Amino acid sequence: MQRYSGFGLVKHALNHHENWQRQWRNPTPKKQYDIVIVGGGGHGLATAYYLAKVHNITNVAVIEKGWLGGGNTARNTTIVRSNYLWDEAAALFEHSMKLWEGLSQDINYNVMFSQRGVLNLGHTLQDMRDIQRRVNANRLNGIDGEVLDAKGVQEIVPILDCSSRARYPVLGASWQPRGGVARHDAVAWGYARAADALGVDLLQNTEVTGFKIRDGRVYGVHTNRGDIEAKTVGCVAAGNSGVLAKMAGFKLPLESHPLQALVSEPLKPVLDTVVMSNHVHGYISQSDKGDLVIGAGIDGYVGYGQRGSYPTVEHTLQAIVEMFPIFSRVRMNRQWGGIVDTCPDASPILSATPVKGMFFNCGWGTGGFKATPGSGHVFAATLAKGEAHPLAAPFSIDRFHTGALVDEHGAAGVAH
Amino acid sequence: MFHIYCPYCEEHREEEEFHPRGQAHLQRPADPENCSDKEWGDYLFFRDNPRGIHHELWVHSVGCRKFFNITRHTANYEILETYKMGERPSITAETLAADERQSGVQAASGGWQTVGARPEDEALNTEARA
Ligand SMILES: Cc1cc2nc3c(=O)[nH]c(=O)nc-3n(C[C@H](O)[C@H](O)[C@H](O)COP(=O)(O)OP(=O)(O)OC[C@H]3O[C@@H](n4cnc5c(N)ncnc54)[C@H](O)[C@@H]3O)c2cc1C
Ligand SMILES: [Zn+2]
């Protein structure tokens, strides 16, 4: 792999940038791999990378029905934070946050991780009590966080309407300075390039259409490009996880919903942090290119069409304009949807399944981008050892029968 | 935007008058005190979530406020049928597969976000599609 560096940039400039190496190969599928990962989004690619890097398992294929990152990975609003309420979730998301902090160096790819801070606004007394509880829990877990009053919020975001005239006045917020945003496609491409360099085969335009299962144990997958054998299969397919589980003969406690986002025309720098509001339901940041990146809520119905409904967009823009009257005349450029796999307790599933050798990493719903490095890291360990990594153990499917739920509706309540 | 036929109001109304309430025809365990954790967990948390034909509960929340059922395709969003509480769907994944086998055409692949009407009421269908 040709390493990227400032020096390399200058060198290639002399050749008019015509000799850059391809970022990854386009291999022909082999008949057999040690481990097959279904789904070439950020989580699947990160899993493959850590399998090769940490566990020295390189006879691995990532099977992707479309193009790398074309699912939710390159459709999200890129918010990264780790201020979750419960110990289990906080540990997993903070593990991820630590990996983010060294990620560009680790994979030699600029993922533009920008720790510009994340505000979660409170608009009611109950919001503020919940925020206090969550920030206290975060601090006990060694996660940075502060409770701000309206004045403190106004200092960070001068353009936010913090006046008492607002229909839902801002009473305060939780503030996580280490939170921020990253460039989502660079995350997929960076992990892909690094995994490919270690020998992982990335098979695009290859759709898994069924599983080869004998005596309750998986030994391969059927694809539109022929059968591929593997004793261990990890499914990381976000909104389509339920479809894969059905092929394997079991159900998951998931529902797939459209979630949409939109971006505005590019503006001069006006917002240098991330603002989220559970109560009026909207979240916003400004990309380095200048466009406002705005996230909506999910459509309430089950849907697999990667688009959302207009009433949802309308409600979101109402919320944004309510918070930021200054944006009332900004024009929107593009709008799109992804299919998110929502779990009843708003926590993910990292788990063995009724089929031996088959594992699922899913249920990240509206908020898994921030977890990409950590999820890949612990799922790689789970696949390599055949048993759950300690950070993954609380997120087994069993919890929906034992009742040991990790209820993160408070911290994850707003889609993000 | 969905244009939904409420079987109680007997009219098409815009999506915003309604709320989706998840999978239809769920059976609460008859004797919850004595069912196993498995049965109870399945009832509470596990849903069909199909990519295809889905029977779902909706409520006409700012209209007649009644609950009713919709059969809808979850990939192309076509509404195939709406029917009252207590009724059974006349279109299911199975009946569609049978139709398809008979006629050699793919059923339920039609519209984008088209409208729903009672399939037997051709007038409503044509009016809505116009
Ligand atoms: C609009 C929107 C905004 C969001 N905002 C945020 C945010 O601000 N912060 C945050 O943390 N999270 C956010 N999320 C959630 C986040 O995007 C996801 O949780 C995360 O990206 C999931 O990554 P993944 O790799 O698991 O899934 P994906 O990127 O969806 O990858 C799954 C892949 O599996 C492939 N696949 C499916 N079926 C098959 C098959 N049969 N064979 C082969 N391949 C298959 C798909 O093509 C897809 O590429 C948002 C999501 C959306 C839609
Ligand atoms: Zn009605």
Q: Which ligand lies nearest to the CA atom of residue B4 in the structure? A: 2
- Cα(A115)–Cα(A109) distance, integer angstroms: 17
Q: Is residue B10 part of a domain?
A: yes
Per-residue pLDDT at B104: 63
Cβ neighbours of residue B41 closer than 8 Å, sequence gap 6 or more:
A400, A401, A403
Q: Which residues of A touch B59 (CB under 8 A)?
A: none
Instruction: Please list the alpha-helical segments (H only) found in A282-371.
Output: 310-323
- Cβ pair A256, A303 in contact under 8 A: yes
* Separation in Å, CA A91 to CA A85, A88, A106, A375, B90: 10, 5, 21, 11, 49
| Residue in B22, B37, B45 nearest the CB of A253 | B45
> Which tens digit of pLDDT belongs to each residue from B13-32?
999 999 999 999 999 999 99
Instruction: Please list the alpha-helical segments (H only) found in A168-288.
Output: 184-197, 241-248
Phi-psi region of A115 (alpha: psi -120 to 50; beta: other; left: phi over 0): beta
CB contact under 8 A, A301 and B48: no
Cα–chain center distance at B2: 13
CA distance A404 to chain B (A): 11
| Residue in A254, A309, A402 nearest the CB of B49 | A254
Question: How much distance in Å is there from the Cα of B123 to the middle of ligand 2?
Answer: 20
* Cβ of residue B56 closer than 8 Å to a chain A Cβ: yes
- Cβ pair A296, A261 in contact under 8 A: yes
Q: Is residue B27 part of a domain?
A: yes
DSSP H or E segment with residue A282: strand A282-286
- Given a cut of 70, whether residue B73 has pLDDT beyond it is yes
Question: How much distance in Å is there from the Cα of A268 to the middle of ligand 1?
Answer: 30
| Residue predicted with more confidence, B34 or B125 | B34
> Which tens digit of pLDDT belongs to each residue from A134-188?
999 999 999 999 999 999 999 999 999 999 999 999 999 999 999 999 999 999 9
Q: Is residue B108 part of a domain?
A: no
* Residue A394 DSSP class: G
For residue B87, give its domain range.
3-91
Neighbours of A204 (CB within 10 A): 16
Question: How much distance in Å is there from the Cα of A114 to the middle of ligand 1?
Answer: 21
- Cβ pair A254, A363 in contact under 8 A: yes
Residues with CB under 6 A from ligand 1: A 38-44, 63-66, 70-73, 75-79, 207-208, 236-238, 240, 244, 259-261, 295, 338, 340, 364, 366-370, 416
> Which tens digit of pLDDT belongs to each residue from A64-117?
999 999 999 999 999 999 999 999 999 999 999 999 999 999 999 999 999 999
Q: Is residue B86 part of a domain?
A: yes
Q: Which of A369, A377, A395, A408 to mutate to test the pocket of ligand 1 (most atoms within 8 A of CB)?
A: A369
Q: pTM, whole model, 2 decimals?
A: 0.94
* Cβ of residue B17 closer than 8 Å to a chain A Cβ: no
pLDDT tier at B60 (50, 70, 90 boundaries)? Answer: very high
Q: Is residue B54 part of a domain?
A: yes
The CATH number for B39's domain is 3.30.2270.10
CA distance B25 to chain A (A): 15
Q: Is residue B114 part of a domain?
A: no
The interface predicted TM-score (ipTM) is: 0.92
Per-residue pLDDT at B111: 35
A160 is written with which tokens? 């936010």
Q: Is residue B97 part of a domain?
A: no
A57 is written with which tokens? 């398992």
Would you list the DSSP string of A34-98? SEEEE--SHHHHHHHHHHHHHH----EEEE-SSSTTTTGGGTS--EE----SSHHHHHHHHHHHH
- Given a cut of 80, whether residue B113 has pLDDT beyond it is no
CB contact under 8 A, B54 and A302: yes
pLDDT tier at B86 (50, 70, 90 boundaries)? Answer: very high
* Residue A255 DSSP class: E
B110 is written with which tokens? 């039609």
CB contact under 8 A, A400 and B22: no
| Residue predicted with more confidence, B118 or A271 | A271
Query: By CA distance, what is B54's nearest residue in A?
Result: A302
Question: How much distance in Å is there from the Cα of A41 to the middle of ligand 1?
Answer: 6
**pLDDT tens for the 416 residues of chain A, in order:** 889 999 999 999 999 999 999 999 999 999 999 999 999 999 999 999 999 999 999 999 999 999 999 999 999 999 999 999 999 999 999 999 999 999 999 999 999 999 999 999 999 999 999 999 999 999 999 999 999 999 999 999 999 999 999 999 999 999 999 999 999 999 999 999 999 999 999 999 999 999 999 999 999 999 999 999 999 999 999 999 999 999 999 999 999 999 999 999 999 999 999 999 999 999 999 999 999 999 999 999 999 998 889 999 999 999 999 999 999 999 999 999 999 999 999 999 999 999 999 999 999 999 999 999 999 999 999 999 999 999 999 999 999 999 999 999 877 655 55
CB contact under 8 A, B20 and A301: yes
Domain tally for chain B? 1
Interface test with B, best of A312, A401, A402 (most B CBs within 10 A): A401
- Cβ pair A365, A346 in contact under 8 A: yes
Q: Is residue B111 part of a domain?
A: no
